Structure 1
Amino acid sequence: MPFAASRGGVRNGAEKKTIEAIRQEITREVEEFLRVVFEERRKTGRLDLEATEMAMRSALHRAGAAALSQLLEFPAPTEEGRTLACPCGQQAHYRERRSKPVLTVVGLVEVLRPYYLCAHCGVGQLPADVELDIENTEFSPGVRRMQAIVGQEAPFAHGREQRRVLAGLEVTTKSVERTAEAIGADIAQREQAEIHKALQLDLPVVVGEPMRILYVQLDGTGVPVVKKETVGRQGKSAGQPAHTREVKLGCVFTQTKWDQEGYPIRDPDSTTYTGAIESAEEFGRRIYAEAWGRGWSRALQKVVIGDGAEWIWNLVGLHFPGATQIVDLYHARQHLWEVARRLFPNEEGKQKAWMKIHQKRLLDRGKIEKLVGALRSIESSNPELIEKIRTEADYFERNAERMRYPKFRRQHLFVGSGVIEAGCKTVVAYRLKRSGMFWTVRGANAILALRCCHLNGEFEDYWEARRAD
């Protein structure tokens, strides 16, 4: 950077002055702090540790802010650094030094840096802002990082309060929202670049030891959105408008062991999530890229688990051919319970007796053809009941090969989608479905990207990659 070179030309004298100024500021703050502490101790005869440590933090913040302000005072450029190339093809010339307040992790500081202006196109440049990563923002990278972490975890107002209590920094609720969503949007953009590579078959081969079993689980859950996001969309009830948009969420995890009874054990810390409010086609590409990045190509056995939603199995057939497909057993049981309740309303005993035959003897044993036959043989004069039974029979018939549960259990495989259902709660509902929340699709997707990145343990990698750009 030209301004960096200009700093080198005045290094000896300017740096000595800067160091001395910083030393004086720190000394002044520490001496003032100690004076207050000792005076209070003389008056009361005791030391209030909490008050003292909080006062110490404030003093060190003030000293740090003063030191940073000194470090962020860039000199005017020397002659060789007074021009910059402008994107328009002409030259931008140094005009003056401009000051900018920036909130840092130690408090508010002033950044004084060179400003360049192109006379041809009228566009100004502040190279120091680019180097310091404070372009078009009033917050330092450290502060924005904090805002991203608290913003993905809790409501933005709660995040603002956390910043005040834990870091001693005063920010607005809106600033936490804007920063978290901006960083989340950047993460989402990078994800799309990886997905594009997957579509171009340009993903790197994931090398390493073969893994025993790799799972993909898929589900969807509604998120409350503002009215403009549901225009023209049908709600769950006929004739009623939609109030939510569906987040499609996927997770990938591995399994290498099972317990003494043969039940599978998920590998610790092996689960990663990805999701967004998007079409099934877009989500299919997303979950494919996630699975590939986790080592899909080197898994000895590949398993996909979901409910009976048609969109799930359509994208599985497209992106994961050859994988073992399993319909969540507990979801399938729920379908049977719906039939039982319709057959015997308000008769719990008869419902349980019917389920004992059709669930335990047929569904759980993978005898789906017999189950379908039993359902289709039911007679009733109620046309709505007959239609319900026909729909459920079609569901079981369509998913018969995905319901061979004894076969799957003999292979020590999971037969339930508990991991992704828990993910719908921890990843989505915990953050996006709290009382009074209504999201734009853009905002929800940004926070989802940020939250998945954090829960996947990838946020530090993202931040380092971002700094390296």
Structure 2
Amino acid sequence: MAAKTLRLLAEVSISGRHVGRLTETIGAELAARRDEHAEAHRRRQLDAQVPNVPSVVAVEVDGGRYQRRAEGQGCGARDPHWREDKVACLVTLEGPTCETDPQPEPPECFLDRKHVGNMTQCSATCEPTIGSASAESKAVAQPDAHAWQPERLVRTCVATTRDSEAFGRLVGAEAQARNFGAASRRAFVGDGQAYNWAIQTRWFAEYVPVVDFIHVLSYARQAARATGGSDAEQWDRYARWMRGCWQGRVSEVLGEMDREQERIGEPPEGAEDTDGRVVLARARGYLRNNAERMKYPEYRKAGLPVTSSWVESLIKEINYRVKGTEKFWNEDGAEAVLQVRAAALSDDERLDKYLAARPGSPFQRRAAA
């Protein structure tokens, strides 16, 4: 793609293999510089790299997918499973605060059957799937726009194939470099994965923890379907539970779910993941484990995001280059291309600045002989 674009727009002929080698080289350099910042942050020696103090900030985390090539194998050979890359979207925001909940009723789109169906695949799988592979090119589903919702100002990105412990250090360093700790309002947004909240506890303990509401909605929809009854009864149950979660009445919703579990029974040992009793128990566990991160009226009053739509949009942009049935990466290649992609998608022009200052750049001033 890069070679073709250069040929069409700049009449520069360069092979795709050469572009790939350059990407791996520059990506490795970016990763090394990133790791230096993370180590300095771990030693508490990393200063903020920007002079301004942001007012509102959010750190959103999620995971994407890519295909790893099997070690020692040739092109096209791969491990039998997709691997997860970890992505963080760090944004400065602008928005008001409110004395009362500015939107006590959920958006109409969350009560639209077709829209909810497009947002969630409610097929009683192990985990609700947000969106779908066929819809990756479409905009990420999010609530109707309202005045209370914060406006995104500047986005920067962190992406890696490394484990969650390393990922947390990298995101913490990026937040420190952007002076996020000085903001008066701070949010950390993610789904219910345990490692997200381990990162939040370790590196972002002073941030308000927010569980993405779209995941909550998805669990409510699955649970409502799992309890049986007519389609109308299932939808009414979903709407009641979704509204209760939106309004912060999680204990009431859990009480209803507990009664439904008593009615249909606890899942027996060895029950299939698609068993309605298992689906309902899973939803109850998700809400119970995340209840303290579901105070949505408080978040809206503070002008904080209640969904992880920004990082989900970012992952789709990263996937345009990284994910595909025809794309297979070795470990170093995947990490390198993620660094180039994350830098290119950051709003602070960090990739352009790095390339301009890189030794050998035609834009770098050379000392006179």
Q: Which of the pair has more CA radius of gyration?
A: 1
State whether residues 225 and 439 of structure 1, in contact with CA within 8 Å, keep that contact through their aligned partners in structure 2.
Answer: yes
Number of aligned residue pairs: give it. Answer: 298
| In structure 1, C-alpha distance between the alignment counterparts of 2:341 and 2:245, rounded to whole Å | 37
1:217-238 superposed Cα distances (whole Å, 9 cap, x missing partner): 00001112223399xxxxxxxx
Cross-structure match for 1:334: 218
Q: Using the alignment, how far apart are the partners of 1:186 and 1:408 within structure 2?
A: 39
- Relative to structure 1, the CA distance from residue 366 to residue 204 in structure 2 (aligned partners, 3 Å threshold; closer, same or farther) is same
Kindly indicate whether the alpha-carbon contact (under 8 Å) linking 1:214 and 1:301 is maintained by their aligned counterparts in 2: yes
- Distance 1:351-1:242 versus aligned 2 partners, 3 A rule: farther
| Structure with the larger helix share | 1
The C-alpha deviation readout for 1:433-463, integer Å capped at 9, x for no partner, is: 1341111121111011011112211112212
Shift of 1:397: 1.2
> Does the CA-based 8 Å contact 2:226-2:280 persist in structure 1?
no
Distance 1:455 1:396 in 2: 33
| Alignment match, 1:257 | 95
* CA distance in structure 2 between the aligned counterparts of 1:169 and 1:207, rounded to whole angstroms: 36
Amino acid at match of 2:310: V
Contact kept, 8 Å, 2:164 with 2:195, in 1: the verdict is yes
Q: CA deviation at 1:206?
A: 4.9
1:420 counterpart SS class: helix
**Change over 3 Å in CA distance of 1:188–1:385 after alignment to 2:** same
Q: Which residue of 215, 235, 244 corresponds with 2:58?
A: 215
> Which of residues 379, 398, 401 in structure 1 aligns to 2:292?
401
Q: How does 1:55-454 map to 2 (within 5 A)?
A: 158-206=1-49, 208-228=51-71, 242-258=80-96, 262-268=147-153, 270-344=154-228, 347-360=230-243, 362-378=244-260, 379-381=263-265, 383=268, 384-427=275-318, 429-454=319-344
Summarize the Cα distance change of 1:288–1:424 in structure 2 as closer, same or farther, 3 Å threshold. same
Partner SS state of residue 252, structure 1: strand
The alpha carbon displacement at 1:365 in A equals: 1.1
**Distance apart, 1:464 and its partner CA:** 3.7
Q: Distance in 2 between matches of 1:322 and 1:435?
A: 40
- Out of 461, 466, 469, the residue aligned to residue 353 of structure 2 is 461
Q: Residue type of the partner of 2:249?
A: K
TM-score normalised to the size of structure 1?
Answer: 0.60
Structure 1 residue 424: Cα displacement: 0.6
Q: Secondary structure at the match of 2:328?
A: coil
Q: Counterpart of 1:222 in 2: which secondary structure? A: strand
The alpha-carbon deviation at position 386 of structure 1 amounts to: 2.8
Aligned partners of 2:219 and 2:283 also within 8 Å: yes
> Partner letter of residue 298 of structure 2?
K
Show structure 1 runs of 5+ residues with no match: 1-157, 231-240
Query: What is the letter of the counterpart of residue 368 of structure 1?
Result: V
Q: Check the 8 A contact 1:248/1:276 in 2, yes or no.
A: yes
Residue identity matched to 2:317: T
Paired residue type of 1:369? S
- Tell me the SS of whatever aligns to 2:324: coil
Q: Which residue in the other structure is 2:136 paired with?
A: none
| Cα distance change, pair 356–161 in 1 and its aligned pair in 2 (3 A) | closer
RMSD: 2.3
Q: What secondary structure sits across from 1:436 in the alignment?
A: coil
Q: Which structure has the higher relative contact order (CA within 8 Å, separation 6+)?
A: 2
3-state SS, counterpart of residue 302 of structure 1: strand
CA deviation after TM superposition for structure 1 residue 349, in Å: 2.2
- Residue 210 of structure 1 contacts residue 300 of structure 1 at CA under 8 Å; is this kept in 2? no
TM-score, length basis structure 2: 0.75
Tell me the distance in 2 between the aligned counterparts of 1:196 and 1:164: 40
Work out the percentage of aligned pairs sharing the same amino acid: 25
